């Protein structure tokens, strides 16, 4: 017979005695750990003597679970057990919690292809839900915008002007500088390639076509997506974290009308103007390179531009700007409303708004390019 303060094992019988409570947990845990080598024998014993068992609480039941195992403890908790009903209920409750926690923490067994398909399915479902959220928010924004448009007294001119300054005027230097440099780079590349064919004059067409149709509006939209969409998300997300949006609703105001519509309207006005500045800056950068490396004077550059480049290319480029502006503003505001209330959530959704905005700008630009090519525009 192996004797311990609370556990006796004698042949095919296990005797439990004393108070199995939190007060004796340290001693009980050490005894259970010392007798773990006998657990296999304990699981096969024919009888468990509980006559000398004193008080019992959840800490004691958890140690019994370790010592006797799930199946033996379930037998003690069954209706056939000699234990009182309240102790059987305690055993069942604690055993269920322990089994549930063990099952939830156990690693799921699978295989590589199934795991890949599972992750793909989860990603597609999340993408589908996000598309539905964006579509719904676009509908709410359009509905609120038309509702406000028909009521001039509800126009928020001050908010519109402030957002127009931040999104438009403050972005002019960075847009102009970057597009000027990119225009110079495009001209350098065109001069390097076309000079080998004796067609350096077509560098003018390359710079003009690329900036009027593609680079002007797309580069501007990408810059605005990184600069303005993140600002919209951070501003609205901080308000949501501070429960200011809830205060707006309690005050009887519409957060979409108060926060989203002025920002969307400001970006709808600012992005076409920034795109025009980007087109001019890119062409000026290309003109400077042509004048310095190809000996194409500004007068000749403008003459070739006027004769070779039609107005429709400018119209196609400018038509993309409002679409980009609307999508960027909606995504930035939506991600702000999805902030959950912590600084980490603000950062995550700000990053998400920038990534989504840049992605949607490139996708829409590619679709528009294919459409215009098929239409012969």
If one counts every other C-beta atom within 10 angstroms of the C-beta of residue 303, the result is: 13
Torsion over CA: 197, 203, 209, 214 (sign): positive
27 to 13, 17, 252, 352: CA distances (angstroms): 22, 13, 62, 53
Which of 74-78, 117-121, 264-268, 319-323 has the lowest average pLDDT? 74-78
Q: First and final CA of the chain: distance in angstroms?
A: 97
Which of 35-49, 162-176, 285-299 has the lowest average pLDDT? 35-49
| Residues forming a β-bridge with 16 | 7
70 to 47, 49, 58, 102, 138: CA distances (angstroms): 16, 17, 15, 11, 55
- pTM for this prediction: 0.67
Judging by beta carbons within 10 Å of its beta carbon (0-12, 13-18, 19+), is residue 289 exposed, middle or buried?
Answer: buried
**pLDDT, tens digit, 9 for 90 and up, residues 206-251:** 888 889 888 889 999 999 998 899 999 988 888 888 888 888 888 8
> Which pLDDT band, with edges at 50, 70 and 90, does 174 fall under?
very high
**pLDDT, tens digit, 9 for 90 and up, residues 116-170:** 888 888 888 888 888 898 899 899 889 888 888 888 888 888 888 988 898 888 8
What per-residue confidence (pLDDT) applies to 275?
Answer: 93
């Amino acid at each position: 017979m192996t004797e311990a303060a609370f556990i006796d094992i004698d042949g095919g019988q296990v005797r439990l005695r004393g108070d199995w409570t939190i007060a004796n947990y340290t001693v009980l845990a050490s005894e259970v750990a010392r007798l773990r080598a006998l657990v296999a024998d304990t699981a096969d014993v024919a009888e468990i003597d509980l006559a000398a068992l004193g008080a019992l609480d959840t800490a004691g039941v958890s140690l019994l679970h370790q010592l006797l195992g799930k199946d033996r403890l379930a037998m003690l908790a069954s209706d056939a057990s000699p234990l009182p009903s309240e102790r059987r209920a305690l055993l069942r409750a604690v055993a269920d919690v322990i089994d549930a926690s063990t099952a939830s923490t156990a690693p799921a067994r699978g295989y590589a292809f199934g795991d890949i398909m599972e992750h793909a399915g989860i990603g597609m479902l999340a993408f589908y839900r996000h598309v539905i959220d964006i579509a719904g928010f676009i509908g709410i924004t359009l509905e609120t915008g038309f509702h406000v448009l028909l009521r001039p007294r509800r126009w928020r001119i001050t908010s519109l002007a402030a957002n127009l300054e931040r999104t438009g005027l403050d972005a002019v230097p960075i847009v102009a500088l970057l597009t000027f440099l990119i225009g110079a780079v495009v001209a350098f590349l065109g001069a390097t390639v076309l000079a080998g064919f004796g067609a350096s004059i077509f560098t003018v067409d390359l710079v003009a076509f690329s900036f009027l149709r593609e680079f002007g509006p797309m580069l501007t939209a990408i810059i605005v997506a990184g600069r303005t969409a993140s600002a919209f998300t951070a501003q609205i997300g901080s308000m949501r974290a501070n429960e200011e949006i809830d205060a707006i609703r309690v005050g009887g105001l519409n957060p979409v009308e108060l926060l989203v519509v002025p920002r969307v309207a400001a970006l709808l006005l600012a992005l076409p103007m920034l795109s025009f500045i980007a087109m001019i800056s890119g062409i000026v950068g290309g003109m400077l390179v042509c004048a310095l490396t190809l000996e194409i004077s500004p007068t000749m550059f403008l003459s070739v531009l006027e004769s070779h480049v039609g107005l429709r290319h400018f119209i196609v480029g400018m038509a993309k700007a409002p679409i980009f502006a609307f999508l960027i503003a909606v995504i930035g505001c939506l991600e702000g409303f999805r902030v959950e209330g912590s600084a980490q959530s603000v950062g995550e959704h700000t990053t998400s708004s920038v990534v989504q905005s840049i992605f949607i700008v490139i996708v829409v630009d590619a679709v528009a390019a294919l459409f215009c090519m098929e239409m012969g525009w």
